[in-house]
Amino acid sequence: MSAVHDLDQEQRAVARAVRAFADEHLAPHAVEWDQAKHFPVDVLRKAADLGLGGVYVREDAGGSELTRLDGVVAFEALATGCPSIAAYLSIHNMVAWMVDRYGTDGQRRRWLPGLCAAEQLGSYCLTEPGAGSDAAALSTRARRDGDHYVLDGVKQFISGAGTSRVYLVMARTGGPGPRGISAFLLDREDPGLSFGPNERKMGWNAQPTRQVVLDGVRLPADRLLGTEGEGFRIAMSGLNGGRLGIAACSLGGAQSALERTMTFLAEREAFGTRLLHAQALQFRLADMATELEAARALVRRAADALDRGDARAPQLCAMAKRHATDTGFEVADSALQLHGGYGYLAEYGIEKIVRDLRVHQILEGTNEIMRVIVARGLTGAA
């Protein structure tokens, strides 16, 4: 296996193109979007013009058909402009990949062109008010009624809810536990589907987060994704890639915070010298850069394993998600500290990065659950 940290020419070109997009279309507006709680759907569609609406989707359905390694490179670059927008796009791409991977030809033709163009946005609906980390305990029901299913339940913390058009919903069609769960594709216009108010959050304010309420939503049977009882496996396979996307977004946000700190320290003076020349501060920067580089290598190693179908890929994805999101937050927090009082001001953009990256340690499986996954892989425990 080649060293995955040595990107090839095409991957370096992807990184440059996406970083240029982030610098032009995301970074100048990130603080404003955060404060106004504005979801820039028009910018998401511009990102789709760059191929970021269906990163992993096959080309015949309008996707870019890139590898997971390509994807983490792209999402890291995108998150330098705004981690909140990059992270939403990562979730959107998780939905698109699941439709591409598990959908019928008819489902792929119906749903994927709009998702890949970001003309239709996607939301992933697994978590419930009473079932977060224990996702297999979800209680949303899907009752078979002739040629239809009828869905009832509530989903919690759903990114994009209310604005998204496509909702990939996990619901219980059978008995308790993971084998009783199935996956369904819902359209925002389906009768009985509604949304709670936009949640007031610490970060991620540039994307909406709402409850998704299902009150007797009646779906034709062809909205079932995969087969009955396969939903939990579909959900978990999607999360392997989703965890890499969130990990990459943490790297990008932290990289931006590090770069802004370098610029700030180069411009500021104290005690007769520029702060960047102070060895104690140089050591802090060195540690931040070293930790980021180590996390980046692990994320790319896990992405390579997922691309190759390595049996250890789920464990490596959990390792990468845990390490990169912890590291990203710590680096961003250090960047705020090195800015002194200015880091606490919204106009410098550092406090926003800190707030945005904090939730990455929680979503797509909390970092405590990532430790459970890794431990199970080590010990063979069920």
Q: Is the pLDDT of residue 212 over 50?
A: yes
Q: What is the pLDDT of residues 51-69, one digit of tens each?
A: 999 999 999 999 999 999 9
The per-residue pLDDT of the chain, averaged, comes to 96
Model pLDDT, residue 5: 59
Model pLDDT, residue 2: 40
pLDDT grade, residue 325 (50/70/90)? very high
Q: What mean pLDDT is predicted for residues 195-215? A: 98
Model pLDDT, residue 270: 87
pLDDT grade, residue 3 (50/70/90)? very low
Residue type, 167: Y
pLDDT grade, residue 6 (50/70/90)? confident
Q: What is the pLDDT of residues 246-271, one digit of tens each?
A: 999 999 999 999 999 999 999 999 88
Bridge-based pairing state of the strands 148-159 and 122-125: unpaired
Residue type, 287: D
Q: Is the pLDDT of residue 294 over 60?
A: yes
- Taking residue 290's Cβ as centre, other Cβ atoms within 10 Å add up to 10
Question: What would the DSSP string read from start to end of 65-79?
Answer: ---HHHHHHHHHHHH
Q: Is the pLDDT of residue 75 over 70?
A: yes
pLDDT grade, residue 129 (50/70/90)? very high
Q: Are the CB atoms for 134 and 164 separated by under 8 Å? A: no
Kindly state the tokens that stand for 174. 């059978």
Q: Which whole-number Å values give the CA distances from 151 to 61, 121, 162, 323, 327, in the listed order? A: 28, 21, 18, 37, 40
Q: Is the pLDDT of residue 1 over 80?
A: no
Please tell me the distance from the alpha carbon of residue 146 to that of residue 45, in angstroms, as a whole number.
Answer: 38
Task: Look up the pTM and report it.
Answer: 0.96
Please tell me the distance from the alpha carbon of residue 173 to that of residue 158, in angstroms, as a whole number.
Answer: 21
Q: Identify the burial level of 199 via C-beta atoms within 10 angstroms of its C-beta, where 0-12 means exposed, 13-18 middle and 19 or more buried.
A: middle
140, β-bridge pairs: none
Kindly state the tokens that stand for 127. 């978590």
Please tell me the distance from the alpha carbon of residue 188 to that of residue 256, in angstroms, as a whole number.
Answer: 35
Q: Which whole-number Å values give the CA distances from 159 to 152, 168, 239, 355, in the listed order? A: 20, 12, 14, 16
Catalytic residue among 199, 267, 364, 368, which? 364
Q: What is the pLDDT of residues 353-369, one digit of tens each?
A: 999 999 999 999 999 99
Q: What mean pLDDT is predicted for residues 302-326? A: 97
Q: What mean pLDDT is predicted for residues 131-146? A: 93
Please tell me the distance from the alpha carbon of residue 248 to that of residue 71, in angstroms, as a whole number.
Answer: 9
Asked if 32 is an active-site residue, the reply is no
Model pLDDT, residue 382: 61
Higher pLDDT, 101 or 273: 101
Fill in the DSSP letter of residue 210: E
**Residue of 15, 21, 71 lying closest to 43 (CA atoms):** 21
